[in-house]
Structure 1
Amino acid sequence: MRIGIDVGGTNTDAVLMDGERVVAAVKRSTTRDVTGGIVAALEGLRDQLLHDRPGAGSPRAAGGTDTATLSDVNAVMIGTTHFINALVEADRLAPTAAVRLGLPATSALPPFVDWPDALVEAVSGRGYLCHGGHEFDGRLISELDPDELRRTADDIRARGIRSVAVSSVFSPVNIEFEERAAEILAAELPGVPISLSHEIGRIGLLERENATIVNAALRELATGIVDGLAGAMAGLGITAPLYLSQNDGTLMDLEFARRYPVATFASGPTNSMRGAAALSGIGTCAVVDIGGTTSDIGILSGGFPREATTEVTVAGIRTNFRMPDVLSIGLGGGSRIHPDHGVGPDSVGYRLPEQALVFGGSTLTATDIAVAAGRAEIGDPSLVAHLDRSMVQAVLKRIADEVAEAVERMRTSPEPLPVVAVGGGSILLPDELPGCGTLHRPGNHSVANAIGAAIAQIGGEVDRIYTVAPGRRETVLDEARQEAVDRAIAGGAQPGSVRIVEFDEIPVPYLPGDATRIRVKAVGDLAIKELSTKGTGHA
């Protein structure tokens, strides 16, 4: 059995799953510190299991789990907003240095040049320009200068900076200088975490550098959060391995999370989309996840989210690391309803149980509209019985039209595309979505995000430049595929379950030796049986 948890802006959802069957599911309000909501959700699962145990209430459905407890869990998967919240709020970020290798080039646009001032201040941002880097065709810009890096380390130490991001021009083509710089800086700054851009971002210096700085600023927080989550699990008697969801629908273990907290960004929408695929049985579709604050619309292809191919802006910072292609609109169950029948984008968020009319509050929300229309049984329906019927229908039409427009914006072909609605706020949508046909709303749709976390798989990815000699193309491609499979298995995937889900082969012009960028992604099921005996895993 496994537990899946997903933290949203309004609710924290948790499910206990036995294989593909949902044994228990709960929703709890998200807390400001996030961890409190996670603990409350786990306690809700525990209480539900105790209540449903034979002799203590309603009987548990047959299937061998009628005496289950949280101590029987084999693995816990969490999709958390801890890290993106810290960035958005400009809070709990470590003082960070950005070391760029590229002189005499790139000096016109130094590190942090396009950052919001508040975030530069929050990370005590300090940029350093050093020699090094490569051209797009692999030629040197300049040689690395070890003494220059040691002087840089001296200044970093003197300023009390606690995390370092290293970026070299075109490091995805040649990683040599970043690795050498990391060795020198680590020797001079023992204990200071160092993030390397070629491990995080893609081609595009400023965006890749920005993503690396963000990751570095979160490293210190990651250690505290991961340790805190592990302690919370232990406090509830859960000794199973803990994993965090990544933004590509796969899992990472705690050590990986400490090194790459930025990989958790947008894991929530990813979990929802993966959960939608599992619940509906539709692997290629548009997914609409309506939560308490926003609606996230994404496209599934083969059961995995379509990735964004352009830069992604997070908290006002342009980045280019791996992210799902998601369109978010300010529409959810907690959205405020305005006099002109407008919905959101402002929301009462996690204060919905206090402020919505159906709970005795004074704010008219989308949830109140759903209850008034008879689409949901939440709170006290008599408190919204006075709402004008024409106004209720006008608001529901506005919601349906906005969601249908968002789905249309995400389409990339004229072919029919099924639409699956999940999330607690999906009750706001009609059975027929304008221009999209029948809406699929599967069972357990309200906790699809937690189910997506629970069923997440282990991934292995290869993304680098290969030299493809004449007559060796197939051999090189096979080697790349096998390496991705091996990485997934080493990460804890069941060997027989691993499959290739993405493959790209892109010739790189101007580079010598028939250079080709090959990107392969393999995924496989988490090896639960092995975990129960080994007690560890990697992602």
Structure 2
Amino acid sequence: MKGNLVLIFQGKKLNLLFGREGIVLAEEKCPGAVHPENLNNFLYNNGIIPACVERVLVVADLTDLLSRTESPLGYFRLSSTPIELSPVSELLKRKNLKLYSFHLPLPSQPGYRSQLERALTDLAELPVKSIAVNSAFSPIDSSPEQKLIEAAENLFPGRFSFYPSYHYNVLNFLLRENALLINTFLLESVKSFRSWLENLLTCSGISAPVYFLKGDGTLTSCRVATTFPLLTWQAGVSSYLLGSSWWLGQGETFVVLPDKRGVRLSITERYLPKLATGFTHFYGVELAGSYPCVIYFKEKPAPHKWEETLDALNPFPGPLPLVCFAPPAEIPRVFRYPVLLPPAGPTLQGAGVLVAPYGIEIEKVFFFTHHRRIQVEKQELWDMALWQLREDGVELKEISYQFEEIPLRYLPQNACRLRLKVLGRL
């Protein structure tokens, strides 16, 4: 029988599951290091032929690999005036990461060339292989970063790998900087993880395409996940949310998860994780992105506080079920919110991943002149989405999409951010 292989990484443990369309047909826990024979035995013991594996769905928070990051990183800030804030300082401290940061003027400003040469010379004497580059308004005008990379390659050909920020659709300079630096720090460790994963599958005779679960509860290609690993942050939380909503057959469901200290509370929305509004924090670093709305309780909450929180999150006047993966004694009982205990093991997580849709989100900033222009821009975004799907070899069915128009009143010439969200089934 054909189906999908699900790999759920939780710390050093790996859960292997096989199924299709929300039904888990086989599961096994690997408590220690995972070797090809573990996967081979799982397939053999459950009568699964490698050729019958249609897809490999991976739940792995790739940001956990920051602890394996050893190489220092170079960073160039391009702006007309210096920015005094230290980039990702809290993350550097907590994860013991090394960052060499330089402020450079824009290419059109005096002193740019000499300062660039001096910065590159300093970095060339250090064990720095990668340099992140972030310029003001790079999502609108990428030319300063492109000129810098071209000049640097001429000065030190092949010495560094450069990672520009114009691939990030975040207008806020500091928020774009945070995402850029975290992703760039992760790339070397993620590359090693991807090689290990590909070897694991190859040794088991599996040649199916690999997809990763993102923090927003949708799947993405292996290429996207390993290029922007920050997208997988809180993927484990999302797998619980997806599975709980599928288990109850209810689009809106509260989910309680255990934490190192206390519990975490989250909720689904239309069978997907309800996403946080505003900023989220990653080791003290602010992020703008699509991540689950999670409320942390460091100790057992008081009954009235717990009820107030549930009422604030509940989109309906009536009660919602509360799926509790934490010990029931860790939460107070509220009569209006029945507590349900899920089946033991990773079955619900696996089922949630098996029904997760594939998601793609792209956006661009343009300057609105007339109604016809916005239709042209929408078509261009749609073409970009189709091109990206083709590049990743993704074929979707039951496609739904949504355009969002966000006026940027702080920019001149009627600037507007146009965002396209596409969902579909693999």
TM-score, normalisation: structure 2: 0.83
Q: Where does residue 22 of structure 1 map in the other structure?
A: 24
**Quick one: which of 211, 214, 220 aligns to 2:182?**
214
Q: 2:116 aligns with which of 149, 153, 157?
A: 149
Most deviating of 17-26 and 428-437: 428-437
The amino acid that maps onto 1:447 is T
- The reply on whether 1:229 has 2:216 as its aligned counterpart is no
- Aligned with residue 2 of structure 1, among 4, 19, 27: 4
Aligned counterpart, 1:316: 284
The answer to whether residue 61 in structure 2 is matched with residue 94 in structure 1 is no
State the 1:130 CA deviation. Answer: 0.7
Cα distance in structure 2, aligned partners of 1:291 and 1:407: 18
Q: Gapped runs of 5+ residues in structure 2?
A: none
Shift of 1:264: 1.9
Structure 1 position 487, deviation (Å): 4.8
**Counterpart pick for 1:411 among 313, 327, 331:** 313
- Counterpart position of 2:352: 452
Identity %: 20
Give the 3 Å change call, closer, same or farther, for CA 115–92 of structure 1 in structure 2.
closer
Give the aligned length: 422
**Structure 2 SS opposite 1:472:** helix
Q: Contact between 1:400 and 1:434, CA under 8 Å: does it hold in 2?
A: no
Whole-Å separation in 1 of the counterparts to 2:56 and 2:382: 28
Which has the larger displacement, 517-526 or 188-197? 188-197
Would the aligned equivalents of 1:459 and 1:487 in 2 still touch at CA under 8 Å?
Answer: no
Worse-superposed segment, 190-199 or 238-247: 190-199
Corresponding residue number in structure 1 for 2:419: 519
| Cα 1:143–1:46 shift into 2, 3 Å | farther
Residue segments in structure 1 that go unaligned for 5+ positions in a row: 50-66, 134-139, 331-344, 346-397, 527-539
Question: Where in structure 2 are the equivalents of 1:519-538 lying within 5 Å?
Answer: 519-526=419-426
Counterpart residue number, 1:76: 56
Equivalent position SS for 2:291 = coil
Deviations 1:85-105 (A, max 9, x none): 233x4x433210111111424
Q: 1:295 to 1:179 in 2, by over 3 A?
A: farther
- How much does 1:76 deviate? 0.9
Q: Quick check: 1:468–1:476 contact (8 Å CA) kept in 2?
A: no
Residues 76 and 131, structure 2, Cα contact 8 Å, conserved in 1: yes
CA distance in 1, matches of 2:407, 2:347: 42
What does residue 81 of structure 2 align with? 104
Q: 1:99 to 1:407 in 2, by over 3 A?
A: same
Asked if the contact 1:276/1:445 (under 8 Å) is kept, the reply is no
Deviation for aligned residue 1:506: 1.4
Q: Which among 124, 127, 130 is matched to residue 98 of structure 2?
A: 124
> Cα distance 1:115–1:226, how it changes in 2: closer, same or farther (>3 A)?
closer
Query: In structure 2, the residue corresponding to 1:104 is in which secondary structure?
Result: coil
Whether the 8 Å contact between 2:91 and 2:283 is mirrored in structure 1 is no
1:453 aligned counterpart, secondary structure: helix
Change (3 A) 1:284 1:238: same
- When Rg is computed on C-alpha atoms for both structures, the one with the higher figure is 1
The residue that corresponds to 1:354 in the other structure is: none
Provide closer, same or farther for how the CA distance between residues 274 and 175 of structure 1 changes in structure 2, counting only shifts above 3 A: farther
Distance 1:432 1:473, change over 3 A: farther
5 Å-filtered alignment, 1:111-510, equals 111-113=87-89, 115-117=91-93, 119=95, 122-132=96-106, 142=109, 145=112, 148-186=115-153, 188=156, 190=158, 192-200=160-168, 202-290=170-258, 295-329=263-297, 404=306, 408=310, 411=313, 413=315, 415-416=317-318, 418-421=320-323, 425=325, 428=328, 434=334, 436-439=336-339, 446-472=346-372, 475-476=375-376, 478-479=378-379, 482-483=382-383, 485-487=385-387, 489-490=389-390, 491-500=392-401, 503-510=403-410
TM-score (norm. length: structure 1): 0.67
* Aligned-partner Cα distance in 1 for 2:130–2:195: 19
